Amino acid sequence: MDLYDFLKLILSGSLLTSIFARQTNQINMQKLFAETVSKSRMEWITSFRNEIGIIVAAIRMRNYVLERNCCNLENGKGTCSDCEECQKKYYTEIVPRALEAVSTLRTRLNMNITRNGNEYNGILDDILSRIDFYEKKKNDVSGEDLISITRKILEPEWGRVKDEARGVYKH
């Protein structure tokens, strides 16, 4: 092997090493990006579910408080003879947290409903804007309404997280 062949071998080896290193870096960066996006998506899903849970619990509590069944909330029986303490807790603790949860969710909704996967966001925004924690009305929003629409919103998000966990990255 002469010097010329030796230099060609070294250059081709360096070139191949450089190409493989670049591809490895690209793959690692894509994987890191997907993991970061997946982690952020999971945090968003968890937060979303927690906020919905607070709102659903407040709606259910509202119904008990207004019907004066709040002291027997655990066993669902009887009526309350003195609901002042329950009402005080509901209006001073539960309602403010539920209103905060409503505001948080409404600000996080992507209202570009033309984008695939966002078609239920407008419906949820409308439902959230109609919730009244101070009185129960005919045709009022129920906890089941919220849970139903939430499942429709979160189902595609869960699908994306599962795809990302399997290494399938959709842009």
Contacts of 136 (CB under 8 A, 6+ apart): 62, 63, 66
Q: What is the per-residue pLDDT for 31?
A: 72
Q: What is the per-residue pLDDT for 96?
A: 96
Query: Which domain, by its residues, includes 108?
Result: 3-165
Average pLDDT, the chain: 80
Site of tokens 């009887």: 78
The answer to whether residue 97 is domain-embedded is: yes
Which residue did the predictor score with more confidence, 17 or 38? 17
The answer to whether residue 161 is domain-embedded is: yes
For residues 93 and 70, the answer to whether their CB atoms sit within 8 Å is no
In whole angstroms, give the CA distance from residue 65 to residue 163. Answer: 44
Q: What is the per-residue pLDDT for 98?
A: 96
How many domains, in total, are found in the chain? Answer: 1
> Which percentage of the chain shows pLDDT scores above 90?
23
Tell me the pLDDT tens digit for each residue of 133-160. Answer: 988 877 788 889 899 999 988 888 788 7
Q: What is the per-residue pLDDT for 69?
A: 66
For residues 54 and 74, the answer to whether their CB atoms sit within 8 Å is no
The answer to whether residue 171 is domain-embedded is: no
The answer to whether residue 9 is domain-embedded is: yes
The answer to whether residue 93 is domain-embedded is: yes
Q: Which among 127, 93, 108 is positioned nearest to 46, based on CA atoms?
A: 108
Q: If you average pLDDT over residues 100-108, what whole number do you get? A: 93
Q: If you average pLDDT over residues 85-110, what whole number do you get? A: 90
The answer to whether residue 170 is domain-embedded is: no
Which residue did the predictor score with more confidence, 10 or 72? 10
Tell me the pLDDT tens digit for each residue of 50-91. Answer: 999 999 999 988 888 877 666 655 555 555 555 677 788 889
Ramachandran region, residue 139 (left: φ > 0; alpha: ψ -120 to 50; beta: rest)? left
Q: Say how far residue 115 (Cα) sits from the centre of its chain.
A: 17
For residues 33 and 171, the answer to whether their CB atoms sit within 8 Å is no
Burial track 32-67 (b if 16+ CB lie within 10 A, e otherwise):
eebeeebeeeeeebeebeebbebbbebbebbbbbee
What is Dmax (Cα atoms) for the chain?
Answer: 103
The answer to whether residue 57 is domain-embedded is: yes
Q: What is the per-residue pLDDT for 74?
A: 55
Q: If you average pLDDT over residues 16-25, what whole number do you get? A: 81
pLDDT-derived band of residue 19, with 50, 70 and 90 as boundaries?
confident
In whole angstroms, give the CA distance from residue 108 to residue 104. Answer: 6
The answer to whether residue 94 is domain-embedded is: yes
